[in-house]
Amino acid sequence: MDNRPRPAPAGVESRPLPENFSTTMSADLWQRGCERLAAELPEIQYNTWIRPLAPAEITEVGGKDDAAGATLVATLQVPNRFKLDWIRSQYGARIEHVLSELAGRAVRLEVGVVPGAGADPRRLATRHLVATTDATTRVPLPPGAVAGAGLPGAAAPRAGDAGSAARARPPEPTHRLNTQWTFENLVPGRANQMARTAALHVAGAPGQMYNPLFIYGGVGLGKTHLIHAVGNALLADRPDARILYLHAEQFISDVVKNYQRKTFDELKAKYHSLDLLLIDDVQFFAGKERTQEEFFNAFEALLAKRAHIIMTSDTYPKGLVDIDERLTSRFDAGLTVAIEPPELEMRVAILMRKAEAEATVMPEDVAFFVAKNVRANVRELEGALRKVLAYARFSHKDINIALAREALKDLLSIQNRQIGVENIQKTVADFYKIKVADMYSKKRPASIARPRQIAMYLAKEMTQKSLPEIGELFGGRDHTTVLHAVRKIGGERQKNTELNQQLHVLEQTLKG
C-alpha cells in the first residue's frame, strides 16, 4: 500500500467551484455521501471512521486546456497520520465511488492531516512532560496519569490542574512508550499486514473491536514496534488516554514487589485504571501462578470497562505452556494475529527505508544482496545495515555489493560454514521425527515425502547449491523433482501460516 500523499497531477490546477456549485451543494454532497455510506457500511465502522469526519471540502480541478475533463476533488482533513492511512486504504475507493455517483462526475478524494494537529507523537510526548515527585522519574507522562489518577473512580486531574504536579503523591505509571516506534516507520508488507491492520484499527477505536488483540511471531519481527505504534498513535489522538506499555517481566516484578509489601491494592489501582494496556512477551508468565492470577484480574477489569489490551507472544495462545487455560482461552477471545518473517521484497524495503532514515541512500542491488543473505528477522537486518553503513563511512567508500560483501564477511562465512545440505536433512528429519535415511530413500508416504520436500526447499534457500547438486544429495533425484519441491513449499509458505512458522523455526535452528 502506498501511503504517501498523492500530489496533484502535472498540469492540473485547483480552482474554486463554479458559482452553480455552491458551498451548500458541497456540504450537501458530503452529507448525501455519508447517508449512503451509513447504509452500506457496518454500523460500527461507519460510526468509528466516517461519522466523526469534518465535512469534505469540494473543489474543482481540471487541465487548463481541458474543458471537459474537470474533476471534483473532495478534501478531507483528519487529525493524524494513522487515521489518514486507514481512511485512505480502507474507505478511499468507496468514498470516491459514492461521491462520483451522487455528483454525476468523477470525484477524487484527497486526505490530509489537519495542519498543526498532533501528528507527531514525539512532539506530544514531550509536551506532556510532567514533573513528578521523584526526581529520578522525570519521564513523559500522559496528562491524567499524574498523582492519584490511578485510583478507580477517581477523576483524572489534567496536566494543567493547579498544583497537581506539586502535590506529594506516589509517582503514577508512565506510559513507557518508545516514541520512535510508530506506524509511520513500520514498513508494511504481507508478513505484517493483518497485524498492522488490526493494530491500526485498535489505535483508531480502542475498546471496540479486536479486544484483546493477541500478536504472535518469532523474535525480532516487529511485535514490540507495532504495539508501541498503537500506543503512540492513540496518545497523539487522545493525549489524555491512560496507556501503559510493559514487558511481561516488569509485570511479574511488580507483582512480586507488591506481594512482599502486601500492597495489592496499589497494583490493582495501577493496572485497572488504564485505557490501553500493551504487554509484551506474555509467554514469560509461564509457571508464575500469582502473576497469572493478578493478570487475570487486571484483564477482566480492563475488558469490563472496555479498555483495550494488546499482548504479544512468541506463540499463539493455545501454544503457551504453563499458563492457566482460563487465561489462554481469554487471550484468544478477541483477535489473534501472526507476524511472519518478512519476505524478500519487504526485507529490501525495510533496508532502504532504514538507510534513508540514516540519511543514506542504499542502492537497490545492495539492498537485495543484503536481504538475500540476512533472512532471519528484522533485528538482524538492522544489524547488517549498521555494519554496511559503518564500513562505508570509515572506509570513505561508496556503498556497493563488493563493499557490503566485505562488511558482512563474518556473517556470510558463518552462514556458509554452518549450513550444509546434510545439516538441513538432519535438522528437518529431527523436527518431523523421521529417519535421516528417509531423506535419500525412495519412500513416498506423505509423512516422509513432505519433510523431504521441506528439506529440499531449505537446501535451495539456504545454501548456494544448484538444483542438480541438491537432487544428487537427496538420493540421486532429478533436478525437476527438487524444483517441484521448492516451488510447492515456497508457494504453500505464502498461504499456510503454520508451515511458515515451522520453516521459520527450522531456519532459526539451522542458523544457530
Ligand X SMILES: Nc1ncnc2c1ncn2[C@@H]1O[C@H](COP(=O)(O)OP(=O)(O)OP(=O)(O)O)[C@@H](O)[C@H]1O
Could you list the residues known to form a binding site, using ranges. Answer: 220, 222-224
User: By C-alpha distance, which of 504, 191, 484, 220 is closest to 342?
Assistant: 191
Q: Which ranges in 396-496 belong to alpha helices (H)?
A: 401-407, 409-418, 421-431, 446-462, 467-473, 479-495
Is 378 or 392 the residue whose CB approaches ligand X more closely? 378
CB of 88 to ligand X, least distance (A): 19
What grid cell was written down for 432?
518431523
Residue nearer to ligand X on the CB measure, 182 or 453: 182
- Output the smallest distance, CB 273 to ligand X, in A: 26
Cis peptide leading into 115, omega within 30 of 0?
no
Joined together, the cell numbers standing for residue 507 give 531456519
Q: Where is the binding site for ATP, in residues? A: 220, 222-224
Q: Closest distance between ligand X and the C-beta of residue 35, in Å? A: 38
CA-CA distance, 270 to 53, in Å (whole number)?
A: 34
Q: Provide the minimum distance between the beta carbon of 28 and ligand X in the complex, in angstroms, as a whole number.
A: 42
Report the nearest approach of ligand X to the CB of residue 443 (Å). 38
307 or 378, CB closer to ligand X? 378
Q: Are 454 and 489 in contact (CB under 8 A)?
A: yes
Task: Let me know: does 403 contact 370? Beta carbons within 8 Å.
Answer: no
Rounded distance between C-alpha atoms, residue 78 and residue 114, angstroms: 6
Query: Which residue number is nearest to ligand X in terms of Cβ?
Result: 222
Pick between residue 221 and residue 309 the one whose CB is nearest to ligand X.
221
Residue 334 beta carbon to ligand X: minimum distance, rounded to whole angstroms: 19
Q: In what order do the strands lie in the sheet with 107-113?
A: 12-15, 57-63, 71-78, 107-113
| Longest CA pairwise span in the chain (Å) | 83
Least Cβ distance, residue 225 to ligand X (angstroms): 4
Pick 348 or 424: Cβ nearer ligand X: 348
Nearer to ligand X, 224 or 463 (CB): 224
CB of 199 or CB of 489, closer to ligand X:
199
Contact (Cβ atoms closer than 8 angstroms) between residue 258 and residue 264:
yes
Non-local (6+) Cβ contacts of 440 within 8 A are 474, 475
C-beta separation of 215 from 226 below 8 A: yes
- Residues that bind ligand X in the complex, under the rule CB under 6 A: 181, 186-187, 192, 217, 219-225, 350, 378-379, 382
CB of 496 to ligand X, least distance (A): 21
Of 310, 294, 103, the closest CA to residue 210 belongs to 310
Q: Where are the alpha helices (DSSP H) in 305-400?
A: 325-331, 344-357, 364-373, 378-395
Which DSSP state fits 115?
T
Distance from C-alpha of 260 to C-alpha of 262, rounded to nearest angstrom: 6
Tell me the three cell numbers of residue 76: 478531507
- Residues 249, 279 contacting (CB under 8 angstroms): no
